[in-house]
């Protein structure tokens, strides 16, 4: 049963205010270290500690054997210190005794490779033996600590699906058949129609013939792959629900799990998870492999707020400095941690927690940063940890305030799967690239956007961006059209509206679902070669995509001046109802994209945040009596911001203007 009302995050920390927390793995340390850990946690101002995340082999060292002595002790130590607990159910990684007894629980890759014990999350999500043992662990933990006064939050498993979301073993195959039977109401012809199995002689005679889309000689069936991704997300959600159900039967404490709203994990459709979460929590790490990792952070934070439906959310994990799982693990520059934290807070986080408390000396993550590094307390990282605690404490009044956005960007994991399915027109069609480009253009133009799911209510948004929404249901397209009819401006970008829920192309000209709304008709895609650029009649240039488009009621705002679609419209505008529907048939350069959304925002009556730009991030949170304007200067030069109010980090009164030094964060409290 989902909770009736969202949990106020501030109730997770002592008193009101923002949460400062961390993962703590005391089982990695001798008990003599624990009192020092607690003392230093208090020194840093830590208020919420996640424990028992990887506790299974410690609390349940053999079939039917339970040892809670360590967990009992650490819980009492934390409780006595007034530190609240984010209690892991402990099921994140099955212990070796379980996989030795039941090797059938090990997950399998698409080529039949079995993934062995020795890493983490080494289980098939559909395996009934795993599920039964995990449920027993949760029952034991809930029975013991379900009403402990120090426990503030339940933390189900850990990053469900991080490694094992797609499993191709025999148990997964049986579960996939059951899932398909339910989806297609036991009608194999309905499945055949949905997957288009007449193609390449793939018609199934019964559900018992249906397979998971394991490795094949050619391209796979895209309908089958799409449904397998839906199934795999649902299986992870089922794991969460099973644990949450046991918890709710025995404890009144709120339940969550840590999402992975991030660039490199795309296997879970979190829109379908939110109703089961008492509060939304996310893990986010800067990804040094990306061209613009800080913009990705802003995007992930906005999307997490979208999942929370605008309510405050919790950053459950991030790093003080480097991680250890990227090819090159970059230490944060001075000030970067504060800017990262401010970006999460500005976009609605009411708590910031770190992985992890004390840097491990053994195990695969021994070179991952922590609040307390290998160097100990005589280190810049530790001093920053203490400083951050002070900063969060001083910002308590922003807890519970909300971001207000006039613009929305549509985002869907299901569409991510559909866009990047096999056999697409160009490998350079990467969904997240398109969404990030739109989000960055808006942010750089000083426009804060909410991320919303297709089909969600769009009332209240004056500008709506629909990037590469390839798969769209009729009802979802109708919501967008209605928003334009009532006066909104919408920007639809290429490869949108092409297929229906079953990945079937809408015929009669692209973009099928949006042809009428946009007043255009496209006959053929004409993607560009890697690195190729085309010129537009407005003097800008573009990449990735062109198409053979003609207007059918719309006005051409810019044409392709060269390239495979020379002379055809590249940007169009169509008056529809009281609003306007724009189409972008290519990927503009960042500057041109920013100029385009700025123009659309202006005509939609949205005032940008003055002073915002590619180096300067500005977002406001609104409370009942005050607004809090976060100004994050990522650049190497100071910036002057027109402002009135008081600055919370420095305590200065601002009259007329505030200079924000290079690399600095300022939070201006303003009257509303
Ligand atoms: C997360 C995970 C943590 C730790 C961290 C390292 O994915 O939940 O257990 O591995 O990454 O960055």
Q: What does the block give as tokens for 119?
A: 């890493």
User: pLDDT by residue (tens digit) across 240-298?
Assistant: 999 999 999 999 999 999 999 999 999 999 999 999 999 999 999 999 999 999 999 99
Q: Which segments of 271-335 does DSSP mark as H helices, in order?
A: 293-307
Q: How far apart are CA 507 and CA 510, in angstroms?
A: 7
Find tokens 């799409």 and name the residue.
Answer: 226
Find out whether 620 and 447 touch, Cβ atoms under 8 Å.
Answer: no
**Ligand 1 in reach of 355 Cβ (< 6 A):** yes
What pLDDT was estimated at residue 5?
Answer: 56
The CATH code that applies to domain 616-671 is 2.60.40.1180
Which residue out of 27, 159, 315 has the highest number of ligand 1 atoms within 8 Å of its CB and is therefore the one to mutate? 159
Q: How many angstroms is it from 43 CA to the middle of ligand 1?
A: 24
Which residues does the chain have with pLDDT short of 50? 1-4
What are the CA-CA distances from residue 449 to residues 38, 118, 313, 406, 606 (Å)?
Answer: 40, 42, 17, 7, 11
The architecture in CATH of the region 407-603 reads 3-Layer(aba) Sandwich (3.40)
SS3 (DSSP) at 380 = helix
Which residue out of 355, 365, 367 has the highest number of ligand 1 atoms within 8 Å of its CB and is therefore the one to mutate? 355
Q: What does the block give as tokens for 22?
A: 């961390």
CATH superfamily membership of 9-164+235-394: Glycosidases (3.20.20.80)
Q: Is 285 exposed, middle or buried (0-12, 13-18, 19+ CB in 10 A)?
A: buried
**Ligand 1 in reach of 444 Cβ (< 6 A):** no
Q: Max Cα separation, the chain?
A: 76
Give the CA count within 13 Å in the CB-facing half-sphere of 191: 29
Q: How far apart are CA 101 and CA 430, in angstroms?
A: 42
**Ligand 1 in reach of 155 Cβ (< 6 A):** no
Q: How far apart are CA 487 and CA 604, in angstroms?
A: 9
Q: How many angstroms is it from 324 CA to the middle of ligand 1?
A: 10
Q: Is 433 exposed, middle or buried (0-12, 13-18, 19+ CB in 10 A)?
A: middle
Q: How many angstroms is it from 363 CA to the middle of ligand 1?
A: 13
Known catalytic membership, residue 333: no
Q: How many angstroms is it from 25 CA to the middle of ligand 1?
A: 12
Rounded to two decimals, what is the model's pTM?
A: 0.97
| Ligand 1 atom at shortest distance from the alpha carbon of 54 | 9
Find out whether 527 and 428 touch, Cβ atoms under 8 Å.
Answer: yes
What are the CA-CA distances from residue 443 to residues 50, 75, 294, 414, 419 (Å)?
Answer: 33, 43, 12, 25, 24
Known catalytic membership, residue 76: no
Q: Which segments of 94-169 does DSSP mark as H helices, in order?
A: 96-101, 128-145
Active-site residue, selected from the candidate residues 235, 296, 317, 647? 317
**Ligand 1 in reach of 414 Cβ (< 6 A):** no
Q: How far apart are CA 146 and CA 141, in angstroms?
A: 7
Degrees to nearest 5, angle at CA 552 with 423 and 491: 65
Q: How many angstroms is it from 339 CA to the middle of ligand 1?
A: 21
Q: How many angstroms is it from 32 CA to the middle of ligand 1?
A: 25
| Ligand 1 atom at shortest distance from the alpha carbon of 159 | 8
Find out whether 350 and 312 touch, Cβ atoms under 8 Å.
Answer: yes
Q: How many angstroms is it from 159 CA to the middle of ligand 1?
A: 8
**Ligand 1 in reach of 368 Cβ (< 6 A):** yes
The one-character DSSP state at 4 is S
**Ligand 1 in reach of 158 Cβ (< 6 A):** yes
Q: How far apart are CA 195 and CA 656, in angstroms?
A: 62
What pLDDT was estimated at residue 4?
Answer: 47
Which residue out of 365, 370, 371 has the highest number of ligand 1 atoms within 8 Å of its CB and is therefore the one to mutate? 365
| Ligand 1 atom at shortest distance from the alpha carbon of 162 | 7
User: pLDDT by residue (tens digit) across 368-385?
Assistant: 999 999 999 999 999 999
For the chain, the structural domain boundaries read 9-164+235-394, 407-603, 616-671
Q: What does the block give as tokens for 7?
A: 């949990």
Take atom 12 of ligand 1 and give the residue whose Cα is closest. 323
């Amino acid at each position: 049963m989902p909770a009736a009302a969202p949990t106020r995050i501030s109730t997770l920390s002592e008193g009101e205010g923002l949460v400062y927390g961390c993962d703590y793995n005391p089982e990695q340390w001798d008990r003599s270290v624990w009192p020092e850990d607690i003392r230093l946690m208090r020194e840093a101002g830590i208020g919420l500690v996640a424990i028992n995340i990887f506790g299974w082999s410690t609390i349940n060292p053999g079939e039917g054997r339970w040892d809670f002595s360590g967990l009992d002790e650490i819980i009492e130590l934390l409780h006595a210190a007034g530190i609240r607990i984010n209690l892991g159910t402990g099921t994140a990684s099955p212990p070796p005794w379980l996989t030795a007894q039941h090797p059938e629980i090990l997950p399998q890759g698409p080529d039949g490779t079995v993934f062995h014990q020795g890493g983490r999350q080494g289980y098939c999500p559909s395996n009934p033996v795993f599920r039964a043992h995990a449920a027993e662990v949760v029952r034991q933990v809930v029975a013991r600590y379900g009403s402990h006064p120090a426990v503030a939050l339940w933390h189900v498993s850990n990053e469900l699906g991080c490694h094992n979301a797609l499993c191709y073993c025999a148990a997964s195959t049986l579960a996939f058949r059951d899932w398909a039977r339910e989806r297609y109401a036991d009608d194999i012809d309905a499945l055949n129609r949905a997957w288009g199995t007449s193609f390449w002689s793939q018609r199934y005679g019964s559900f018992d013939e249906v397979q998971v889309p394991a490795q094949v000689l050619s391209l796979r069936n895209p309908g089958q792959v799409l449904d397998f991704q839906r199934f795999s997300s649902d299986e992870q959600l089922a794991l969460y629900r099973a644990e949450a159900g046991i918890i709710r039967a025995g404890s009144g404490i709120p339940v969550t799990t840590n999402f992975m709203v991030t660039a490199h994990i795309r296997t879970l459709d979190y829109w379908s998870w939110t109703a089961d979460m008492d509060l939304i929590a996310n893990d986010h790490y800067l990804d040094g492999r990306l061209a613009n990792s800080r913009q990705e952070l802003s995007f992930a934070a906005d999307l997490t707020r979208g999942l929370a439906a605008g309510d405050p959310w919790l950053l459950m994990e991030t790093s003080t400095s480097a991680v250890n799982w990227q090819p090159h693990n970059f230490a944060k520059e001075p000030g970067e941690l504060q800017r990262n934290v401010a970006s999460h807070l500005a976009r609605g986080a009411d708590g910031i927690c770190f992985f992890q408390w004390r840097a491990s000396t053994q195990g695969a993550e021994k070179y991952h940063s922590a609040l307390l590094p290998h160097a100990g307390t005589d280190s810049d990282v530790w001093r920053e940890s203490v400083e951050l605690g002070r900063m969060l404490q001083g910002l308590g009044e922003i807890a519970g305030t909300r971001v207000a956005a006039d613009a929305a960007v549509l985002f869907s994991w299901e569409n991510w799967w559909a866009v990047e399915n096999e056999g697409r027109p160009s490998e350079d069609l990467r969904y997240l690239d398109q969404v990030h480009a739109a989000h960055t253009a808006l942010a750089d133009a000083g426009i804060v956007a909410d991320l919303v799911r297709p089909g969600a209510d769009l009332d209240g948004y004056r500008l709506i961006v629909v990037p590469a929404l390839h798969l769209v249901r009729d009802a979802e397209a109708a919501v967008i059209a209605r928003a334009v009819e009532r006066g909104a401006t919408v920007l639809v970008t290429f490869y949108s509206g092409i297929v229906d829920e079953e990945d079937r192309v809408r015929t009669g000209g692209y973009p099928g679902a949006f042809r009428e709304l946009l007043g255009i008709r496209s006959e053929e895609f004409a993607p560009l070669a890697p690195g190729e650029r085309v010129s537009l009649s407005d003097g800008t240039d573009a990449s990735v995509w062109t198409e053979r488009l003609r207007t059918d009621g719309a006005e051409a705002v810019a044409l392709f001046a060269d390239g495979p679609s020379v002379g055809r419209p590249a940007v169009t505008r169509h008056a529809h109802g009281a609003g306007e529907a724009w189409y972008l048939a290519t990927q503009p350069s960042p500057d041109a994209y920013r100029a385009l959304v700025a123009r659309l925002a202006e005509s939609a009556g949205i005032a940008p945040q003055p002073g915002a730009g590619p180096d300067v991030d500005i977002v406001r949170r609104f409370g009942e009596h005050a607004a809090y304007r976060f100004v994050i200067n990522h650049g190497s030069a100071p910036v002057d911001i027109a402002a009135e109010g008081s600055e919370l980090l420095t305590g200065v009164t601002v009259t007329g203007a505030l200079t924000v030094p290079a690399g600095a964060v300022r939070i201006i409290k303003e009257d509303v």
